Amino acid sequence: DVKVTQSSRYLVKRTGEKVFLECVQDMDHENMFWYRQDPGLGLRLIYFSYDVKMKEKGDIPEGYSVSREKKERFSLILESASTNQTSMYLCASSQGTQPQHFGDGTRLSIL
Amino acid sequence: GENVEQHPSTLSVQEGDSAVIKCTYSDSASNYFPWYKQELGKRPQLIIDIRSNVGEKKDQRIAVTLNKTAKHFSLHITETQPEDSAVYFCAASSQGNNRLAFGKGNQVVVIP
């Protein structure tokens, strides 16, 4: 069974801090994705990656960056956290055209 | 880019009745349409998907239908049970499964 693990379930940070959200998958998947989920807005794609050191912008990349130094790990970075980045963040992975599998999510609060 | 709309936003059904959720998409090149179920406090989980070379797919009490001409696809749940209560998300992709555009979700409440 695919396992997508996000490092924290809950995280509280302060405005202006640099925040790292980590995601690891154990199935050697090529593709990894970061979404944010807000009530009434569904899942919106922030960034995705097809391979190591490769990244592409999603629909809402502003204020975020990503890093994929190893195939199994995909990190989301908030360079200078702001209160409007308070949200649920979901990581997903997939292989080729197979379905995406999601992690449990990180609920991030920026104070 | 692709735009997916999902209706209705909330649906209440009596246990045992059927529930239908409809999604429309904008990009005629989209060829992959998954449905995810998200229970409260849990991760979204794939429940069924369909590719554009078929018009219908069924898995026990769940079915998905696709109308490429009208650019809409629907999730059908028969004989609903309380454990079907959740938020359901539809999505569409024109790049295999490399990039999905999600609808805003539909809250389904099954009343015992």
Write out chain A residues lying below 8 Å of B34, CB-based.
Answer: 99-100
Across the interface, do A97 and B1 touch by the CB < 8 Å criterion? no
Whether A34 has its CB under 8 Å from any CB of chain B: the answer is no
CB contact under 8 A, A99 and B1: no
Pairing assessment for the beta strands B19-25 and A56-57 based on DSSP bridges: unpaired
Q: What is the pLDDT of residue A98?
A: 87
Beta bridge partners of B110: B13
Mean pLDDT, residues A49-71 taken together: 95
Q: What pLDDT sits at residue B96?
A: 62
The answer for residues whose C-beta is within 8 angstroms of residue B48's C-beta and 6 or more apart is B34, B35, B57, B59, B62, B63, B64, B75
Q: Do B34 and A105 touch (CB under 8 A)?
A: no
- Rounded distance between C-alpha atoms, residue A68 and residue A77, angstroms: 11
Average predicted confidence (pLDDT) for chain A = 95
Q: Is residue B111 pLDDT above 90, yes or no?
A: yes
Averaged pLDDT, A14-34: 96
Per-residue model confidence as pLDDT tens digits over B54-81: 899 999 999 999 999 999 999 999 999 9
The reported pLDDT for the residue numbered B9 is 86
C-alpha to C-alpha distance for A2 and A20, rounded to whole angstroms: 23
Q: Which residues 25-84 on chain B approach chain A with CB closer than 8 angstroms?
A: 32, 34, 36, 42-46, 49
Backbone angles phi and psi of B82, in degrees to 5: -55, -35
- Which residue, among B47, B28, B26, has the nearest Cα to B89 in the 3D structure? B47
Identify the band that residue B97 occupies on the pLDDT scale cut at 50, 70 and 90: low
Question: Residues B25, B31: contact at Cβ < 8 Å?
Answer: no
Q: Return mean pLDDT, chain B.
A: 93
